[in-house]
Amino acid sequence: MALFSAWARLQMASLEQQYLVNVVRPYTAMLTPLWLSSLQEFARLRFEPDISGSLGTPSTGDLDEVYAALNRETLLNYYQDSWLNLVDAIASLVEKDSDFVFDALDNKSKAQGEDVNETKGNGVVPSGKGDSINYRDEPVAFFFVLFGLAFEALVDQSVSPSQRLEILQALAKILRPSVAGNAIYQDAVFSETVDTLDRLVLTEGHNIQTVIVQMARNLSLDHPSAKGGQDRVENLSDDIEQLFELTRNIILVLAGLLPNLGDSSSRTFNVSSDETLTLIRLALSALVDVAAIFPAIIRHDLHACILHIFSTILATGICQAEVVPHALPIFRRFIQGMTSQGTPTNEAASLQVRGCLTRFLTTLSIAQRRESETSLPCAKNTLLAMTIVLSTSSHVIPPQDPLIARVLDEYLDCLQDVGLASVAAGCIRSVLLRSGPLSTTDSAIGRYLFPRLIAFVAGIPNDRGEPLIDPENSRAAISQTLVLYISNPTAFPPPKVSTAIPLVVSTLLARAKNEGSAIYQEMAARLLEIGKLDPVIFRTLIARMDPERRVLVEDILRSIGAGSAGETRDTGAQEQKATPSIELRMDF
């Protein structure tokens, strides 16, 4: 057993260390039947009736029975130390679809194969255990041997946490289609497995919870209902129940890691450790993966649960610094999958997206009160989350929905908010400059923002006559966004460019007049970009300007040369300063 275990460890090591492949490969076909027979023998010894406890003393009992009991106890110790390594090695080979694994399961060795060929040549059809079971198509029989060993060890209360982790990792390798087939989804096996995983989620640490999340994800993605081309209408209720049980395992992990998702309000949560963040990211990603394969009839319920989880994370103070930055990319992937352009627009998806935006607006209004040190990060993260929703799923929101104007007004208001202005400018840029075809809602967003951004850059007072403030110099970013926006042929086809260019040029000149020569070089760069967009329109516009504005344009464009000359003079002055100021006399 020590020898078999050592070779099994070599097989596992060869998965990461390529130089070991040539060491193990020549002997794998020989070792595989030995590993399998050892596991079968271990299962026989482990699950046969324990007769040692019912026996009397050697003087009163049957010596053969006493010897058998002692022999069983002795052998079990050796098998107990090695069986996990054997399971890992066999599972790794099955995942590669190695022929000799299935040959060994079918009780075929190389020598037997030669005998079979010879027998077939004599017209005799061989018979054996391998004829009745096709392990390659449905390797259920041997799965129950492995599953029984792993499951029995997993529920043993005397097992240490480190041993339980190793057993769970072995079980995770067993519960794959290449080893288990569809046997794991049988009601009795599935219910026992999920109940055990539920208990472990609630009682064990992050290492074990990580493996459980991976198992739940893999079992969901490998579920028969997730395989295309199968008509499973008659099993739909069972499929939904099993998928929900697996999803509940993942949500239980999140509820134990994050506040406000469960009933444990009195607990203290530490979400800043690397181990916790990795597990949170894994669980959120697993939820998004599972949502994609849920039956359509029930998928929207899971979408609502996931949106609630993301919204709760976004509104929780201690999650702002570490958790939310990890969650937002996953949230973006979820929204993209939920409202994919390739799927027909669904009223339920539209309702959920609008409800999500409404909740984000509520979170933003609370964060803007600045009642705690996490309020400002929360407001920034909420602006980013709203931008993700608008930039990925605007096509499912009706263009006339008043919710669109509420979100855009928040962006515009935040341009004048200290701490949020730069983030709001970036969000506006992302919403306006999105790539790909534009929906009617995208066009409505552009029509709403464009004149208001023109007013912001030009410094036009608002409806109440109050001047617009710019605490973080966001006008520079918005100016560049406007130039890039009118350069987008999807948003501004050629007939509209002739109208947009004069508007933007006038806006830039108004800003240059208001702020003075300090921004001339920046304005010159923007004007040159517009000139490259359509030189004819730009030259015609300049030619028709009144003398005062034309002089302003000339001063702005000259600032580029003046800036370069100034830099040259500064460089020369610095070089002159760098030369030694004291020279030694050499004429003595």
126, burial (CB in 10 Å: exposed 0-12, middle 13-18, buried 19+): middle
- Contact present, 218 and 172 (Cβ < 8 Å): yes
**Torsional sign, CA 540, 545, 547, 551:** negative
Nearest by Cα to 269 from 323, 336, 348: 323
User: Which ranges of 317-439 does DSSP label H, i.e. alpha helix?
Assistant: 323-338, 347-367, 375-393, 402-414, 421-432
Helix (H) and strand (E) counts for the chain? 25, 0
- Contact present, 255 and 261 (Cβ < 8 Å): yes
Per-residue pLDDT of the chain (588 residues; tens, 9 = 90+): 889 889 989 988 888 888 888 888 888 888 888 888 888 788 777 776 654 444 444 555 567 777 777 777 777 778 778 888 888 888 778 767 666 666 666 654 444 444 444 444 444 433 333 344 455 554 556 677 777 777 877 877 777 788 888 888 888 887 877 777 778 888 888 888 899 899 989 888 899 999 999 999 999 998 887 775 444 555 567 778 888 999 999 999 999 898 888 765 556 777 888 999 999 999 999 999 998 888 877 888 899 999 999 999 999 999 999 999 999 999 999 999 888 755 555 788 899 999 999 999 999 999 999 999 999 999 999 999 999 999 999 999 999 999 999 999 999 999 999 999 999 999 999 999 988 888 999 999 999 999 999 999 999 988 777 888 999 999 999 999 999 999 998 899 888 899 999 999 999 999 999 999 999 999 999 999 999 999 999 999 999 999 999 999 999 999 886 554 444 445 444 444 444 444 434 343
Nearest by Cα to 159 from 272, 291, 319, 151: 151
- Contact present, 208 and 168 (Cβ < 8 Å): yes
pTM of the model: 0.81
Q: How many CB atoms sit inside 10 A of residue 349's CB?
A: 20
- Contact present, 26 and 108 (Cβ < 8 Å): no
